[in-house]
Structure 1
Amino acid sequence: MAPEAGSPGAPVGASGHAIASAEAHSAHNYHPLPVVVATAEGAWVTDVEGRRYLDMLAGYSALNFGHLNPRLIGAAKAQLDRVTLTSRAFHHDRFAEFCTRLAELCGMEMVLPMNTGAEAVETAVKTARKWGYRVKGVPDGRAKIIVAANNFHGRTTTVISFSTDPEARADFGPYTPGFEIVPYGDLTALEAAVTENTVAVLLEPIQGEAGVLVPPPEYLAGVRRVTRERNVLFIADEIQSGLGRTGRTFACDHEDVVPDMYVLGKALGGGVVPVSAVVSSREVLGVFRPGEHGSTFGGNPLACAVALEVIAMLRTGEYQRRAAELGERLHYELGLLVGGGAVEAVRGRGLWAGVDIAPSHGTGRQISERLMARGVLVKDTHASTIRLAPPLVIGEDDLEWGLDRLRAVLAD
């Protein structure tokens, strides 16, 4: 249901105090919208003053199944009464099932669980290099990984070493070598960059932070062909695009492509706990030996319990179908805005869209703030773009309500 009439104003009272305190005592590594969320359910959040907002960002896809999803909260509560952490020094009774079910969902054989998406990307990089040395026979210290311009794979030191975003890189050097950057969507450039020392191609099937950029048709299939022919691993970073967001289980599914390795995160933890994983074949993940890589919290019982419920929900296909059906409505309505002077372009797939705002109508940040004032939460990227990624459980009426607010803001 939509919130009652009346739009939220400037942050005052409890909101203003909380924001001022956060600004004073936390590092300014984010620039959040001036809303202070206190409670949430489904696709809606409520701030400390009781104002309700439609969440059309869903934690950058971490909340694919909505806030406080009963099945996921139930799984977490049940596990909290049993055991939450053992470390990987011991086995626990949820680990084997988690690895088995996730491998099955991906059509793979082995799982290496971690916590955050950036951790999983770092794990994929280490895996590819070790595979290159032990299996492919690349000379020690010579392994190369091809990545795409405008990528976003996290913010660790290694990952920003192959970022093309000045904000992510500035003042954090020296940078980690071993990466070659090619234009996203340019198969010719990618193929030309492959050498005998190339061990992997690491790509987002859809680039989220770059503005929800969808590659040209058959690009992913072409990458799959080139990597197979040249004995190179194809690593698909599906941290944002995977687990139902685009209307399929994985964004790679739209081209019937199966990579050598999936990198997963965000929605795998159901918006409850951080859960990530690298999923691949026995040949690839089998290169690790005890002591070579690990994580105290990776694959902990609580994480496995929640992720197992996420996997069970995805196995029904219900959420993928919902994202596909509501995504058609979303993109049709957004497409009607192009050419009217306020919107220059719309991209995306499923319940995921990047909307480029015409400079005459404001920056992405300004549009996000105006939408917040009307009860809708989105977030900007790269100055002129807003991203829409509502939870897959959003109702049709709520989606239309949110789009109405967007139309009103753009008309203003």
Structure 2
Amino acid sequence: MLPSTDFALLRRLSLEQANGRAPSMVAAVVRDGEIAWWGARGTVDGAAPDDDTQYRLGSITKTLVATVVMRLRDEGRLDLNDPLDKHVPGTSFGASTVGQLLSHTGGLTSESPGSWWERSEGGDWAALQASLAQDAVKNRPGSRFHYSNVGYGVLGELIARHRGTDWLTAVTREVFEPLGMTRTSPHPRGRHARGWAVHPFADLLLPEPSPDAGAMAPAGQLWSTVRDLARWTAFIGGDTAGVLNPDTLAEMRAVATVDDADTWTSGFGLGLQLVRHQGRRLAGHGGSMPGFLAGTLIDESTGTGALAFANATSGPAIMGLTVDLISIADEHEPNLPEQWRPSEVDRSLLTLTGLWHWGPTPYHLRLIPGGMLSLTPVSGTGRASRFRPAGPDEWLGLDGYYAGETLRVGRDSDGTPRHLDLATFVFTRTPYDPAAPVPGGVDPYGWRTA
């Protein structure tokens, strides 16, 4: 980054470390899959932390667990609409679905019963299940967003039963190893920051414990570094390296629920936290454990992300810092758009492009990269969606109003496209073409003044 950008980023980090009274902080900006800038303030064992110093990830662990669950879905081993009972039978909350657990809408209690799990040695799955035998469901499944650490302990057990190994081994084999995340581990290895609580009324520190959370570990056990979390940030932005299908990752980033329905600035997808800020749509997750804060967010549209760690139980606004680092980087050094170049397309699809009408409303159908179609209103906002090929003259909606719906092409006897059938809506080349199968028919007298 330019010296002026570097200074602006470092100043923002410095303000957060000083005002939030963190013993140490380290942060980075990620662009196009690489670390574009990183900086540090404070000390770890008498020296500044670096990009290989481990901090606790906290709940960012959940994003890794969710990725393995989605891999299981893609393999056909489960469906997101499956009740938990189908995969982990015998719980008191077996009616909650896998998708609801991923998006914190399963109704489960937020914390495991008993002692404060983040500061306690955790038991095994049998102990956790027994503790949840009664009063585990606090809300009707699917009725509202209610953040649940317990839900991810349960998903860790689901992974273990399908993979025949513990959740961490599955995450290591399926995520860490293919992505080269060699410095992410359940307990600190090598140079690491110690977790501290900062006295609220004096500049004093109290060491925090970091026990093994046992069956609750999938909710927040892991430690990592700037380098490894930068790789994970790039993954969330779309650089999946074959670990997930890009369509599956896009599904995880889609809004499943919001936790502030009136304004919708914060919500959740499938294992990912979502933030809207000044027109941006960011995806990632925050994390906190006693002695540590962490956060990562990325703007898929610009490819710019940011991450930050602090070894303090509270104080720094870690997610606000990541949002600001992204904004500073893009304001000081906005990415140039990719140069437009002509590219070869399936020319047989050109006959589909151009003007279509949904009733009297005009739409444009375009070919876009990846052999896909884009359907957008000619003017204003409306039901815009992208479609990917699903079979001969069939296309599957990827986003927007028509996500998951099928677009079918109706042709004349000579093969000329006559109409589009999209979720029962018939699009025609001219408004209400009488030659097309418009439901209800078209008045034989046609258009008139009254």
The two structures have a TM-score, normalised by structure 2, of 0.25
Q: Which has the larger radius of gyration?
A: 2
Greater fraction of residues in helix: 1
TM-score normalised to the size of structure 1? 0.26
